[in-house]
Structure 1
Amino acid sequence: MENNNSKKWFTLIVLILGGGTIYKLSSLKDAFYIPMQQYLHLTHTEIGLAMSVYGIIQTFGYIFSMYISDRFSKKILIPLSLIGVGVTGFYFATFPGFYGILVTFAILALFGEVAYWPVLLKAVRLLGNKDEQGTMFGFLTAGRGVVDTIVAFSALALFSFLGQGARGLRGAIIFYSVITIIVGVISYFLLEDDKILDVDENGNKIGKNKATLHGMMRALKMPEIWVLSFTAFSVYSVYCGLTYFIPFLKDIYAMPVTLVGAYGIMNQYGLKMIGGPIGGLLVDKKVKSAARYLRGAFAVSTIAMLIFIILPHKSMSIYAGMALTLGFGVIVFSMMSVFFVPVEEINVPREISGAAMSIGSLIGYFPAVFAFTLYGSMLDRSPGMQGYRNVFMTMIFFSVLGLVISSILVRMIKNKNRKLTSEQECTA
């Protein structure tokens, strides 16, 4: 048992390494937005279009993930995705033209989202038993935050060492590419092969392709998966609003430029390290239900944001503003870390975990297609405090929506457990 436990945590570490490196190229703008404009000759609109191409491929690609993630082993898909992203990065480092960059982001989305993300979620779910899901997903989020931070700062250091020009940007891209490929090779040798089922739920042999398609249909017909997916949708809609705490503190609190970078790193990476374990441990050790935890967290986030809106921000200390916004971010990241954990509570068969995670990702991450445009347009239409108030009220709306949907999910789980208990008693 001790060996199995060590093996489980070792596998999680390997998965964390991949999860913390594979998205560095597709999120190059996070650390190198200005150099991308200068040396790739991109406008704000062109960078936005590249991200839109990525988001479109990501969103609709999850439809294909329902088949891919349960049909092929993680030992193949995870290394292939990592190496594919790394190789694409070498083309990116040639500084292609605008259309070449659009193609680059489309390929990064295919490898990083369609072939990788649902498989990663499935692999983490299958690592732990029912009582460990929160802990597993919580430490996945925290671990990715640690790797994100180390890799991003290393690339920044290399960029600075190479002169902070075109040579530095190319070096940073190649660095990301090499690291991703290395992790892909490591993953191939350290991850175990999955057993791909070739039977239906009644044990009848039907072949791997047919079994996978049959599993997709089973997942699509489970109403609990759809309710769970829209719970994740609500969490992610609130999460998108965290981005606007940065300009809020700069515009309303006059945050010094020297603090903007430090706050941004903490807002995007540091909160993963804090919120991930908090959410995971509370779910497994205290609340004993991710669905109930999400319902409670939605209620807390609604109340917290209502209080935040009415505070006298223009007369408050910048450090008070930073503390309050980061505190709210911890709540949101604790929810982000566990919003797929109820897959275990709704008793999704483990052989269709990939299809379930793909549906959850399709719906859950869909706000990336519209939320940033929605929030940004609010600020453009109403500059100043009124615009930010509109953003925060919209975040409250999504929190209330999540509270309602997660309450439905809790009720569905309760009814399903009651039905299973009744069936077991009748059988006995």
Structure 2
Amino acid sequence: MTAASRAKWLRFIVLILGGGTIYKLANIKDAFYVPMQEIMGLSHTQIGTLLSINAIVATVLFVVGGMLADRFDTRKLIPVGLIGAGLLGLYMATFPGYSGMLVIFALLAVCADCIYWPALLKAIRNLGDDDEQGRMFGFLEGGRGVVDTIVAFSALGVFVAMGSGAAGLKSAIIFYALIDIAAGIVTWFLLQGAAAKTADTTAAPSSGASAGILAAIRVPAIWLVSLNVFMVYIVYCGLTYFIPYLKEMYSLPVALVGAYGIINQYFLKVLGGPTGGFLADKKFHSASRYIRWAFLALLPVMGLIVMLPTGPGYIFPAMAATLSFAFIVFTMRGVFWAPMSEIGIPSNITGSAFGLGCLMGYAPGMFAYTVYGAILDRFPGQQGYTYVFALMSVLAVIGFIVASVLTQMIRKTAVPPDAVAA
């Protein structure tokens, strides 16, 4: 392995370290959904509103984040986002109440989605050639899954060790916060070291960042890629509700609910991200084509979930069915940004293109959790979950249509990089 190759993979590993930690606090519901209800006194709708506020702020600032990624050195933006998120986590551990949590979730979006995420996407995009994009993003998702799983299970262990009550939840939140701060410090020094061995994209001047946004807006394919991400993400949001579903309908114990949530939201990245990247690059030779058929594969699995009888006797078939559905979604998440390379986005507007794409692609976070949560509060029990799962199925059908259109566009009218630059 050459020195340049070693430097490239060192940077990749460092980026995965941050990518697997920064969203733990904003997604605390993944492992602690039920404790948030029982200890913090939050309803389905309130938890959904926290997630929606986080997503609204993130969506508003994604384009700003893309401009920052084009304007400033990503080696500086990434640690700043991590350390900022960790400091907010220390405040969250004081249990500031619902109004305080709203402020925290809004500011977490500034740190993670404005400062950090577009910079991370640009850094990953610049690490690999065009024929590596499916694998690079797939391994990013898989690597994040490894870090996610280790950190989340460690936090769950802290929670249980401290009595699985208020003290346990407080300790778990502090653990997440300290991990973010430590990751930010490590990332600051290691990325600087790697920078000496491998070149980074030079930051564009502010006028160039504005021009990058305007150039990205003029490319129709970017909007279609973003809509494709939108459809994957809105189905992904529904995975959260498999967690209380197993607790309420199959009597899964609270500690096991947390473990299931970690597997469902994090560990499946380890398998799903690289699997999606491999299938997209080697079998389908197109990320958009793979996503198209993956949407279709979701429908029979969801049918099985809905038809399974409820009760403790069917807990393992229910877990297997819901995890299978989530696995397919994570293979899609692992490659849903790869079509940015297929449509020929030049590196000088990559940050702006991803910022614009995030603006639309992650927009479901603004409303999906609130809608799903409101349905469950309005229709308690099996009826509410049936409505939520039916809605997810309809959205998967729409996603299949969008991915089909994107595949045809890429096949016929992919935008050459020189044309976009011009």
Q: TM-score range by the shorter chain?
A: 0.7 to 0.9
Amino acid at match of 1:145: G
CA contact (8 A) 2:229 2:361 kept: yes
Determine the C-alpha separation between the residues in 2 that align with 1:196 and 1:400: 41
CA contact (8 A) 1:252 1:313 kept: no
1:322 is matched with 319
Give the C-alpha shift of residue 32 in structure 1.
Answer: 4.2
| TM-score between the two structures when normalised by the length of structure 1 | 0.86
Amino acid at match of 1:395: M
Determine the C-alpha separation between the residues in 1 that align with 2:253 and 2:32: 20
Give the C-alpha shift of residue 128 in structure 1.
Answer: 1.1
1:230 is matched with 227
Determine the C-alpha separation between the residues in 2 that align with 1:252 and 1:91: 34
1:127 is matched with 127
CA contact (8 A) 1:138 1:280 kept: yes
Alignment partner of 1:194 out of 192, 200, 211 = 200
CA contact (8 A) 1:197 1:211 kept: no
User: SS of the counterpart of 1:116?
Assistant: helix
1:313 is matched with 309
Structure 1, unpaired ranges of 5+? 199-207, 424-428
1:114 is matched with 114
Determine the C-alpha separation between the residues in 1 that align with 2:143 and 2:203: 31
Give the C-alpha shift of residue 95 in structure 1.
Answer: 4.5
2:330 is matched with 333
Residues 81 and 389 (structure 1 numbering): CA distance in 2 closer, same or farther, change over 3 Å?
A: same
1:291 is matched with 288
1:413-424 equivalences under 5 Å are: 413-417=410-414
Task: Give the percent of matched residue pairs that are identical in Structure 1 and Structure 2.
Answer: 50
CA contact (8 A) 2:31 2:262 kept: no
2:19 is matched with 19
Amino acid at match of 1:181: I
Give the C-alpha shift of residue 257 in structure 1.
Answer: 5.4
Amino acid at match of 1:16: I
Give the C-alpha shift of residue 333 in structure 1.
Answer: 0.7
2:150 is matched with 150
2:30 is matched with 30
1:93-104 equivalences under 5 Å are: 93-96=93-96, 98-104=98-104
Deviates more, 1:372-381 or 1:391-400: 372-381
Deviates more, 1:175-184 or 1:402-411: 175-184
Alignment partner of 2:351 out of 338, 351, 354 = 354
**Does residue 61 of structure 1 match 2:57?**
no
| TM-score between the two structures when normalised by the length of structure 2 | 0.87
Amino acid at match of 2:410: I
Residues 100 and 329 (structure 1 numbering): CA distance in 2 closer, same or farther, change over 3 Å?
A: closer
2:81 is matched with 81
CA contact (8 A) 2:137 2:277 kept: yes
Larger Rg: 1
Determine the C-alpha separation between the residues in 1 that align with 2:236 and 2:69: 26
Deviations 1:67-112 (A, max 9, x none): 1121111111001111222233333344445544433322221111
1:404 is matched with 401
Alignment partner of 1:378 out of 362, 375, 378 = 375
1:4 is matched with 4
Deviations 1:52-74 (A, max 9, x none): 43222112111312311211111
1:190-269 equivalences under 5 Å are: 190-191=190-191, 192=195, 194-196=200-202, 198=204, 208-255=205-252, 259-269=256-266
CA contact (8 A) 2:48 2:370 kept: no
Deviations 1:287-316 (A, max 9, x none): 11101111111222234434654x453598
CA contact (8 A) 1:146 1:273 kept: yes
Determine the C-alpha separation between the residues in 1 that align with 2:325 and 2:80: 37
Residues 42 and 238 (structure 1 numbering): CA distance in 2 closer, same or farther, change over 3 Å?
A: same
Alignment coverage as a number of residue pairs = 410
Amino acid at match of 2:13: I
Superposition RMSD in Å: 2.8
Residues 323 and 57 (structure 1 numbering): CA distance in 2 closer, same or farther, change over 3 Å?
A: same
CA contact (8 A) 1:197 1:351 kept: no
CA contact (8 A) 2:30 2:240 kept: no
Amino acid at match of 1:132: E
